[in-house]
Chain A
Amino acid sequence: MAARCTDVLRHYVLLSFKVFSRRKFFTAISIFGISFTLMVLMVATAMLDHAFGPGKPELKGERILVLGNARVSGPHLIINGRPGYALLDRYARNLPGAERISFATGDPDTSVPVFVNDRKIEPVLKKTDADFWQVFDFEFVEGRPFNQAEFEGGRRVAVINRSTRGQLFGDGPALGRQVELAGARFDVIGVVEDVSLFRVEPFSDIWVPYTTEASTAYRTQLLGNWTAIALARDQAGKEQLHDEFNSRMTRAELPEGANLIVAPFETRFEWLARSGPFSDSNDPESQAWRFALLLVIVAALFTVIPIVNLVNLNVSRILERSSEIGVRKSFGAPALTLVGQFVVENVLLTLIGGLLGLALSSVTLRAINASTLIPYSQFTVNLRVFGYALLLSLLFGFISGVYPAWLMSRLHPVDALKGAMK
């Protein structure tokens, strides 16, 4: 039975290639449409994978929770933003279930002017603590991160990334050299590999201890520009610290005029959902499913038009081949066998389109990486993305092939031989 199936499948594959080579125009049009659609989907998949998949410096990503949104509301007040240092300091320390908790300034567009040989550059500056380097696994090119003593002592030390080292000091080493930030000189003690902007929490050009801040005004603000990053001990620890913090928030001191604060510890995906389309939610529970649903709907809307086009193209192609269907039915092909033949043919076509789409997406991702559109982006088509791409191609081929094949299977042999469809 298995041998017969293999034999029939082999025939379908051979026949498919014969059909493709004999109908070059149709094949070219189909492959172009499929590969372009899949390329866009694969680029989007690679970007999502780059933002949310495991990778340096987020090797412990599945244990990391972020507190990056705070929504304060009252009868005449709604403020959406990031939490302030005071909120984190009062309520986000010593959370059960957490292995480490780090505080850092949040917005990736907080740049600082630095002058190099009369030339101004504006690297992004992140102020953080010593725990930051334990939560993330940065790849050090030179030196080391700042430690607890340096942090507590307010030592002016800085870690910079490879690109900033190039801009500041050329090709030479950076250790022992100084960089002037907002009028103060910092000793460079470490150089790390560039981190993509898509890795929002670890991303920066320069990292310094926040204890070097001249003013202490930030220490009293409930809302501001801060992020807490918690490394949970395990999955249970994640839930524990999340629940405990929410419980603390119900007793939190609120700004004047406010009666509710929503500021949960969440995964980056949940954080993105809350900072983007669902920022008006007063529900501290995860908005991830709503965001995921939104992404699926957008992807489906984007995919549905090419699929409908492909279905139409396939229906025309099948009608054009109705005589062949009639002949096959006359000589004993059961309807299901013919459905199999056309689905295999279509899946093969989409796989070819998928491979081409994969090559095109690889080229597109390289072009995005080479441009400065997204700082330090390292989008790649890795095995995981390739797996998604393969799945997408198969799904695309299957969906766009099944309906025309089903229509064809209902074709009456006599009508099919006459070249007409009922």
Chain B
Amino acid sequence: MIRLENIEKVYRTERIETVALSNLSLEVAEGDFVSVMGPSGCGKSTLLNIIGLLDTPTAGAVHLNGSAVTRYRDRELAAVRNREIGFVFQTFHLVNDLTVLDNVQIPLLYRRMANRERSRQALAAIERVGLSARANHFPSQLSGGQQQRVAIARAIVGRPRIVLADEPTGNLDSQMGDDIMALLKDLNQRERTTVVMVTHDQQKAEQTHRIVRLFDGRQVH
């Protein structure tokens, strides 16, 4: 499903060159639940951004469902992200001007779909994360855990085959973190959604199918 070949990511400024990822190859099968661990600055988020087509590698190739997406142009990448990938961010990244319902609808806005159908699917996703009563609330009116649930609803509303979660429990207390983890596991088990999750939490990582460990931009075993 996801195949990374000899990925290298280098950030260059006028003075310094920082190697974020070096010679990294990785395969993630459909229905897999992978956690990525490692110390701060080891390249975990960079790896997730490259898998999610939010960033491009300096060298190497990214294959998604057999296609080399590294060659795609902006519009094609946007279409793949919209169709195939859902994101969950550590800091939620909800749009404060929009209600829960409007936030969850965002991925569907860029698809051919009637307004009513879009609302129906968004409400179903909100129900799935247990926030039906809050559909018309604004993010500022919700707790951190509730905001992350909204973010998950937004990530899954378009039924993507891959969900990428960047420290989804990092800003939550343990109870809320467990709830979020349960949602991701449920998604993976019931719908065979492939989940790649960056985490610092060993306990959470152990609940996934396998752990990829990074150190200084390289994969370690």
- Segment at the B interface, from A38-46, A69-77, A230-238, A325-333: A325-333
Which residue from B79, B86, B89, B96 sits with its C-beta under 8 Å from A417?
Answer: B89
The 8 A CB mask of A316-360 against B (1 = contact, 0 = none) is 000000011011111111111100000000000000000000000
Q: Which of A4-12, A104-112, A254-262, A270-278 contacts B (4 or more CB under 8 A)?
A: A4-12
B110 touches A417 (CB 8 A): no
Contact with A along B87-119 (1 / 0, CB 8 A): 101000111111000100011011110110000
A-chain residues with CB within 8 Å of residue B93 when the two chains form the complex: 323, 326-327, 417
B55 CB contact (under 8 Å) in A11, A335, A414: A414
B84: min CB distance to chain A, Å: 9
Q: Could you tell me the distance in whole angstroms from the C-beta of A210 to the nearest C-beta in chain B?
A: 71
The answer to whether A7 and B110 have CB atoms under 8 Å apart is no
A84 touches B (CB below 8 Å): no
Asked if B57 is at the interface (CB within 8 A of a chain A CB), the reply is no
Q: Smallest Cβ distance from A216 to chain B, in angstroms? A: 80
Asked whether A333 and B97 contact (CB < 8 A) given A7-B114, A414-B54, A417-B89, the answer is: no
Alpha-carbon distance A391/B94, docked complex (angstroms): 36
Q: Is B75 an interface residue (CB 8 A)?
A: yes
Known contacts A11-B109, A323-B93, A337-B110: A330-B54 contact under CB 8 Å: yes
How many residues of A are counted as interface, with CB atoms below 8 angstroms from the partner's CB atoms? 28
B110 touches A331 (CB 8 A): yes
Chain B residues positioned under 8 Å from A251 (CB to CB): none
Prevailing SS type, chain A contact patch: helix
Q: Which residues from 1 to 42 on chain A have a C-beta closer than 8 Å to any C-beta of chain B?
A: 4, 7-8, 10-11, 15, 18-19, 22-23
Instruction: Return chain B residues, CB-CB under 8 Å to A326.
Output: 93
A332 is contacted by which of B81, B96, B97, B112 (Cβ under 8 Å)? B81
Point out the residues of chain B lying under 8 angstroms from A8, CB to CB: 109
Cross-interface CB contact of B98 among A4, A7, A15, A336, cutoff 8 Å: A15
Query: Contact: A331 with B112, CB < 8 Å?
Result: no
What's the minimum C-beta distance from A344 to chain B, rounded to whole angstroms? Answer: 13
Q: Do B87 and A330 have beta carbons less than 8 Å apart?
A: yes
A-B contact pairs, 25 of them (CB 8 A): A4-B112, A7-B115, A8-B109, A11-B109, A15-B98, A18-B97, A23-B97, A324-B95, A327-B93, A327-B95, A328-B106, A329-B78, A329-B81, A331-B81, A331-B107, A331-B110, A331-B158, A332-B82, A332-B111, A333-B78, A334-B110, A412-B55, A413-B55, A414-B54, A417-B54
Nearest first, the 6 A-B pairs at minimum CB distance are: A332-B82, A331-B107, A334-B78, A332-B110, A413-B54, A324-B95
Given contacts A412-B55, A413-B55, A417-B54, 17 further A-B contacts (CB under 8 A): A10-B115, A22-B97, A329-B54, A331-B87, A331-B110, A331-B154, A332-B79, A332-B83, A332-B107, A332-B111, A333-B82, A334-B75, A334-B78, A334-B110, A335-B74, A413-B54, A417-B93
